[in-house]
Structure 1
Amino acid sequence: MRTYIVYDLEFTVLRKQQYAADIIEIGAVKLTDGDQGPIEIDRFQTYVKPERNKVITTHTTEFTGITQEQVDAAPTFPDAIDLFRQWIGDTTYYLCSWGPDDKQHFVRQCRDMKIELNWLRNMNDLQLYYTKLQGNDASKRIGLARALETAGFVFDGAQHRALDDAANTARLFVRMFDQITLEQNNAADDPLYETKLVYSSSDDGDEGHNPFGHLASLFNKPQ
Structure 2
Amino acid sequence: MIKLPKQPYDAFLVLDVEGTCVQGSGFDYPNEIIEWPVCLLRWKDKNSRGKARVLEVVDEFRSFVRPTWRPQLSSFCTTLTGITQEQVDAAPTFPEVLQEFRTFLEKNKLIDHCGQRLVRFCFCTDGPYDIRDFVVKQCFISKIPVPVWLTWDVMDVRRAVGEWHDFATASAERRQVGAFPLPRRVVLSIPRQLHALGLEPFEGRQHSGIDDTRNICRLVVELARRGWKLQPNTSINPNRRWPWMGKRGKVLEEYYS
Partner of 2:155: 124
Percent identity among equivalent residues? 28
Q: Which amino acid aligns with 2:37?
A: G
Structure 1 length-normalised TM:
0.77
Partner of 1:32: 42
Contact 2:15/2:36, CA 8 A, preserved across alignment: yes
Moved more, 14-23 or 33-42: 14-23
How far did 1:60 drift? 0.8
Moved more, 47-56 or 82-91: 82-91
Identify which of 144, 149, 161 aligns with 2:190.
Answer: 144
Contact 2:39/2:61, CA 8 A, preserved across alignment: yes
* Structure 1 portions without partners, runs of 5+: 196-223
Identify which of 1, 5, 20 aligns with 1:12.
Answer: 20
Q: Which amino acid aligns with 1:147?
A: Q
How far did 1:155 drift? 1.3
Question: Which structure features the higher share of helix residues?
Answer: 1
How far did 1:191 drift? 5.5
Contact 2:78/2:84, CA 8 A, preserved across alignment: yes
Residue 33 of structure 2 corresponds to residue 3 of structure 1: no
Deviations 1:82-141 (A, max 9, x none): 1122212314321110101111211222244223430212111111111122228xx754
Contact 1:8/1:162, CA 8 A, preserved across alignment: yes
Identify which of 103, 113, 133 aligns with 2:164.
Answer: 133
* Structure 2 portions without partners, runs of 5+: 1-8, 46-52, 112-117, 167-181, 244-257
Contact 2:190/2:216, CA 8 A, preserved across alignment: yes
Structure 2 length-normalised TM:
0.68
Contact 1:14/1:21, CA 8 A, preserved across alignment: no
Aligned runs of 1:1-223 on 2, under 5 Å? 2-15=10-23, 18=26, 19-35=29-45, 36-89=53-106, 90=111, 91-92=118-119, 93-103=121-131, 104-112=133-141, 113-120=143-150, 121-135=152-166, 140-151=186-197, 152-177=199-224, 178-183=227-232, 187=236, 192=240, 194=242
Contact 2:124/2:154, CA 8 A, preserved across alignment: yes
Question: RMSD over aligned Cα, in angstroms?
Answer: 2.5
